[in-house]
Chains A and B, each alone.
Chain A
Amino acid sequence: EVQLVQSGAEVKKPGESLKISCKGSGYSFTSYWIGWVRQMPGKGLEWMGIIYPGDSDTRYSPSFQGQVTISADKSISTAYLQWSSLKASDTAMYYCAKQDLAVAPFDYWGQGTLVTVSS
């Protein structure tokens, strides 16, 4: 069974750093792209970027380029999303999701990680 299990909710202050994780199981983690999707409170879905864990090839949405860093550790089947300096506007639910093929939708999703940034 394919599963994506994300790390738990985080409460941070503005200016702090953060790295959240997404662990894949039940499939060949290195063979499929993993994406990150933001959902701000009461809002829609926004694609942030994707990574191919096999070689760490990473692509970013122009809206998020330079704002976050996506990485992966294939030895432990885990993808990451990190911030170096959080802002209040980063408060959101963040989902990881797996693509079936390169040009394909997200067929499996993690449960989401809620990030709250508040002073």
Chain B
Amino acid sequence: EIVMTQSPATLSVSPGERATLSCRASQSVSSNLAWYQQKPGQAPRLLIYGASTRATGIPARFSGSGSGTEFTLTISSLQSEDFAVYYCQQYNNWPSLTFGGGTKVEIK
């Protein structure tokens, strides 16, 4: 099973600053990597798929990059509504759809 490792576990960022989140796969997942945002008490929401394609309605301040085993989610200028937990997920090894452990983005 592919193991997804996210870092850091917690990221403290001031509003308006850039946030950079990392996700590493234990073996290549090509570009079959998604990012989700989860706010307290809510279901996860798809942000990015195909490593770099924003899902419908996702603001341009969210961007994804990477391929193979190393991936990055960047939030260019954090807004108050962006403080949440972010998960990466590989779907290259379908039907196995493993998630990373998550990165909590908190207000500094």
**Interface class of chain A by DSSP:** strand
Asked whether, in the complex, the Cβ of B97 is within 8 Å of the Cβ of A44, the reply is no
> How many B residues, CB 8 Å from partner?
24
Q: What is the bound-complex CA distance between A111 and B38, given in angstroms?
A: 12
Is A29's CB within 8 Å of the partner chain B?
no
Q: What is the bound-complex CA distance between A46 and B92, given in angstroms?
A: 16
| Closest residue on chain A to residue B97 by CB atoms | A47
Asked whether, in the complex, the Cβ of B44 is within 8 Å of the Cβ of A45, the reply is yes
> How many A residues, CB 8 Å from partner?
22
Asked whether, in the complex, the Cβ of B87 is within 8 Å of the Cβ of A44, the reply is yes
B residues lining the A interface (CB < 8 Å) = 1, 32, 34, 36, 38, 43-46, 49, 55, 87, 89, 91-92, 94-102
A residues lining the B interface (CB < 8 Å) = 35, 37, 44-47, 50, 59, 61-62, 95, 97, 102-107, 109-112
Q: Other than the known A44-B102, A105-B46, A107-B46, what 15 A-B pairs have Cβ atoms closer than 8 Å?
A: A44-B101, A46-B99, A47-B89, A47-B96, A59-B95, A97-B43, A97-B44, A102-B94, A105-B36, A105-B89, A106-B34, A106-B44, A106-B46, A106-B89, A107-B49
